[in-house]
């Protein structure tokens, strides 16, 4: 894993300088603390920060072709590079390194812009073709690795992280309030928006072509649930056998590295699958890491211990207290570079720190299985709500919802009357592709009631859910309901939050590369051809994945109900009814007024409610975390007292 940055003189801008490139790449030193590399001419400047994973000896970037006319900087891993290299050598290409990066150069020579179709990996790539005077920027299919860009003064600047762009004084800094409202609805901004005005993110599965001053964005891959590929006559055993074989190969590929590789172990099905496949089908020593909580509501340590004993793994366990979350939260926001509505990324940053302290650089994780195989309660909830909508006056159909969310202390299914009101939200929009998400988005959108009157008057209090349509393919209306739900989940929560704030950013904060075998594009494409009854059988989620892993994972874990990873929220910022260190000043009436995003009186009332421990529901907790994180973004990236490009660990003490 690495960091990349660059500048292209696209329309009469000044030539990039080494000083600018150096400043940009050093701002993301945590992504690649093992060294820097540069390439520049009158048109283009490329910079690279290296985290040594593959080819420790001669893998310094930029990597070039034989005559130096093509230069590449790359953040990520190409897992099938060995097979690609063999094929390219047979075609007459000459390699000067053993790096996975070099296959990108020669694939481009061989296939042009179609080179991305041959890559199995997670990546953000910047490739300069000097003969064509062409810059190609590409991002992996699922959106695992980040890539941002902005256009100022005839130049296009790009980087792995926004702080790299902001290291240069010419780049304007301002929060995009419309994007903030997207976060307060969908949990993330919608591409191409980032939280900052003028700073855009390249969407997953896309490449950007900049040639002779013209910019073009091409979608080269997408989640596809076309009915033509589904074989309804194939036996469940055949599906299970192929799925197991495919997962074994995905895990084997993603274990490739010149450094030791570990795995996260949450105690749930997904991470248990990954660790069990490592144990049973590879020669890699099984080294695992897990997080636990002092609050029983969030803790899965018992299930983690059960699997550790079952597999005999060498294991490290990190116990996370509420105070740990509150203390580390500013550093999390420094790395996520965006507002968030949950604290869940924070324990994962602490966990990646434990991985670093154990001298590991790479971990495999189970993220993505729920989106691919239909694992979330939101999918089951939508299935019940659609069933209910066909007989809206039924008294027993909505009672099926009581079987959901057993892990929540304050479950929306706990009260019959409240449950009916809550889950009836959006029933009039059952024909909309986002029908499944309306209850969750409605809850999250309550954060917007805390916006200032000025913001509401300029931008409106809330967004229409229909803006999600800019992400949706034209053919989505012809898909099955579950597939619509999966697509939207994959292109909002997964790529915009789970793989970003809760994934890449908090792992790379400690120079750790996370890998995601369930997001191998072959696994995604295989699952997309699977009949939906094999994803959710009745209300049994991830049915086929469980079936495929029978005998590999203990039945007590394989058949347990889904318990999503969560962490304490607003209570992490208070001790004995008083706000911890930085909260008092950050949320003071003067500071809230100065920033201008939120209503000072409403914020003060929410703070008092949280201090008394009375913020019990999702809405209040998300509002408080959303306000704190937004104010931290303002403090760190926009205010005159921002800590420039410094690491902020320990900044708020």
pLDDT at 10 over 50: yes
Question: Which pLDDT score, from 0 to 100, does residue 420 have?
Answer: 67
Confidence of residue 35 (pLDDT cuts 50, 70, 90): confident
Supply the mean pLDDT for the chain. 92
- Span 549-555, average pLDDT: 94
187 Rama sector, left if φ>0, alpha if ψ -120 to 50, beta otherwise:
left
Residue-level pLDDT at 481: 96
> How confident is the model at residue 57, as a pLDDT?
45
Domain definitions of the chain by residue range: 2-219, 227-372+492-558, 377-447+460-489
User: What's residue 417's pLDDT?
Assistant: 58
pLDDT in tens, 206-240: 999 999 889 999 999 999 998 776 778 899 999 99
Among 50-59, 393-402, 451-460, the least confident range = 50-59
Band (421; pLDDT cuts 50, 70, 90): low
322 has pLDDT over 60:
yes
CB atoms within 10 A of CB 478: 12
pLDDT in tens, 409-419: 555 655 555 56
Q: Which among 163, 170, 173, 104 is positioned nearest to 137, based on CA atoms? A: 104
* pLDDT surpasses 60 at 578: yes
Query: Quick check: 56 pLDDT over 50?
Result: no
Q: For residue 603, give Cα distances in angstroms to 542, 598, 623, 638.
A: 41, 7, 9, 21
The pLDDT of 453-481, averaged and rounded, is: 93
- Give CA–CA dist 38/280, Å, rounded: 42
pLDDT score, position 412: 62
Does residue 319 surpass a pLDDT of 50? yes
Burial (CB count within 10 angstroms: exposed 0-12, middle 13-18, buried 19+), residue 190: buried
149-173 mean pLDDT: 96
Per-residue b/e over 33-62, b at no fewer than 16 CB within 10 Å? ebebbbbbeebbbbbbbbbbbbbeeebbbb
The pLDDT, as a whole number, for residue 52 is: 65
**Under CATH, to which class is 227-372+492-558 assigned?**
alpha beta
Q: What is the pLDDT of residue 651?
A: 44
Considering the chain, what percentage of its residues have pLDDT values greater than 70? Answer: 93
Class of residue 391 by CB neighbours under 10 A (exposed 0-12, middle 13-18, buried 19+): exposed
CB-based contact 474:224 (threshold 8 Å): no
The Cα–Cα gap between 157 and 171 comes to: 9
pLDDT at 190: 97
- pLDDT of 537 > 60? The answer is yes
**Choosing from 2, 203, 332, 623, which is the catalytic residue?**
2
Looking at residue 25, its pLDDT comes to 97
Inform me whether the pLDDT recorded for 472 exceeds 60: yes
Count of beta carbons in the 10 Å neighbourhood of residue 558: 19
* Beta carbons of 465 and 190 less than 8 angstroms apart: no
3-class secondary structure for 349-405?
Answer: HHHHHHHHHCCCCEEECCCCHHHHHCCCHHHHHHHHHHHHHCCCCCCCHHHHHHHCC
CATH architecture of 2-219: 4-Layer Sandwich (3.60)
pLDDT single digits (tens) 609-639: 999 998 878 899 999 999 999 999 999 999 7
| pLDDT computed for residue 54 by the predictor | 59
C-beta separation of 528 from 223 below 8 A: yes
Tokens 């409202």 correspond to 181
DSSP-assigned letter for residue 190: P
Confidence tier at 436 by pLDDT (50, 70, 90): very high
Decide the pairing of beta strands 362-364 and 513-515: parallel
Among this protein's residues, is 2 annotated catalytic?
yes
pLDDT at 1: 57
Token pair recorded at residue 639: 């205010």
What confidence score (pLDDT) does residue 541 get?
A: 94
- On the question of pLDDT at 151 being above 90, the answer is yes
Report how far residue 379's alpha carbon sits from residue 160's, in angstroms, rounded to the nearest whole number: 32
Containing H/E element for 264? strand 261-264
Q: pTM of the entire structure?
A: 0.94
Average pLDDT over every residue of 383-393:
86
pLDDT > 90: what percent of the chain?
A: 81
pLDDT of residue 653: 36
Give the C-alpha separation, 171 to 150, whole Å. 8
């Amino acid at each position: 894993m690495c960091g990349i940055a660059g500048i292209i003189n696209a329309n009469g801008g000044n030539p990039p300088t080494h000083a600018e490139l150096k400043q940009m790449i050093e701002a993301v030193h945590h992504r690649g603390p093992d060294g820097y590399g540069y390439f520049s001419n009158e048109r283009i400047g490329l910079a690279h920060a290296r985290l040594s994973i593959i080819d420790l000896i001669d893998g310094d970037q930029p990597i070039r072709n034989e005559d130096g006319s093509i230069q590449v900087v790359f953040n990520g891993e190409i897992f099938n590079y060995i097979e690609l290299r063999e094929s390219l050598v047979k075609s007459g290409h000459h390699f000067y390194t053993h790096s996975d990066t070099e296959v990108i150069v020669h694939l481009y020579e061989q296939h042009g812009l179609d080179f991305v179709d041959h890559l199995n990996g997670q990546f953000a790539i910047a490739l300069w073709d000097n003969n064509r005077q062409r810059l190609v920027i590409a991002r992996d299919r699922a959106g695992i690795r980040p890539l941002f860009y902005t256009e100022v003064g005839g130049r296009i600047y790009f980087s792995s992280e926004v702080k790299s762009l902001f290291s240069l004084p010419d780049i304007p800094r301002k929060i995009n309030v419309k994007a903030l409202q997207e976060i307060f609805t969908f949990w993330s901004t919608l591409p191409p928006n980032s939280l900052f005005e003028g700073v855009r993110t390249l969407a997953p599965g896309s490449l950007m072509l900049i040639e002779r001053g013209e910019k073009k964005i091409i979608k080269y891959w997408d989640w596809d649930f076309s009915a033509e590929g589904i074989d309804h006559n194939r036996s469940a055993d055949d599906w299970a056998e192929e799925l197991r074989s495919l997962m074994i190969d995905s895990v084997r590929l993603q274990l490739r590295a010149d450094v030791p590789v570990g795995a996260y172990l949450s105690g749930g099905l997904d991470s248990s699958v990954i660790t069990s496949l490592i144990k049973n089908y590879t020669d890699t020593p099984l080294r695992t890491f897990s997080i636990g909580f002092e609050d029983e509501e969030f803790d899965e340590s018992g299930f983690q211990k059960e699997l550790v004993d079952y597999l005999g793994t060498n294991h490290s366990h990190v116990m996370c207290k509420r105070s740990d979350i509150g203390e580390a939260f500013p550093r999390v926001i420094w790395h996520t570079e965006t507002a968030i509505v949950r604290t869940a990324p924070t324990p994962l940053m602490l966990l990646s720190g434990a991985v670093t302290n154990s001298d590991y650089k790479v971990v495999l994780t189970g993220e993505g299985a729920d989106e691919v195989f239909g694992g979330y309660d939101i999918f089951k909830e939508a299935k019940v709500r659609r069933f209910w909508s066909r007989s809206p006056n039924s008294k027993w159909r909505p009672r099926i919802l009581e079987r959901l969310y057993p892990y929540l202390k304050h479950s929306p299914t706990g009260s019959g009357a409240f449950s009916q009101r809550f889950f009836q939200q959006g029933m009039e929009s059952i024909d909309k592709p986002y029908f499944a998400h309306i209850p969750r988005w409605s809850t999250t959108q309550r954060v917007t009631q805390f916006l200032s009157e000025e913001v509401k008057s300029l931008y409106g209090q809330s967004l229409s859910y229909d803006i999600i349509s800019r992400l949706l393919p034209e053919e989505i209306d012809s898909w099955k309901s579950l597939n619509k739900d999966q697509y939207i989940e994959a292109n909002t929560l997964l790529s915009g939050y789970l793989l970003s704030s809760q994934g890449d950013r908090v792992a790379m904060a400690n120079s750790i590369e996370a890998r995601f075998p369930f997001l191998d594009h072959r696994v995604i494409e295989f699952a997309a051809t699977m009949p939906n009854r094999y994803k959710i059988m009745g209300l049994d989620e991830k049915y086929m994945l469980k079936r495929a892993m029978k005998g590999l994972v203990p039945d007590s874990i394989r058949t347990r109900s889904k318990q999503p990873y969560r962490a304490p929220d607003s209570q992490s910022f208070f001790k004995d009814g008083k706000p911890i260190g930085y909260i008092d000043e950050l949320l003071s009436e003067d500071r809230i007024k100065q920033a201008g995003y939120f209503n000072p009186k409403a914020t003060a009332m929410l703070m008092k409610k949280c201090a008394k421990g009375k913020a019990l529901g999702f809405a209040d907790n998300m509002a408080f975390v959303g306000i704190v994180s937004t104010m931290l973004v303002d403090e760190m990236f926009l205010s005159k007292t921002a800590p420039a490009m410094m690491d902020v660990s320990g900044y708020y003490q």
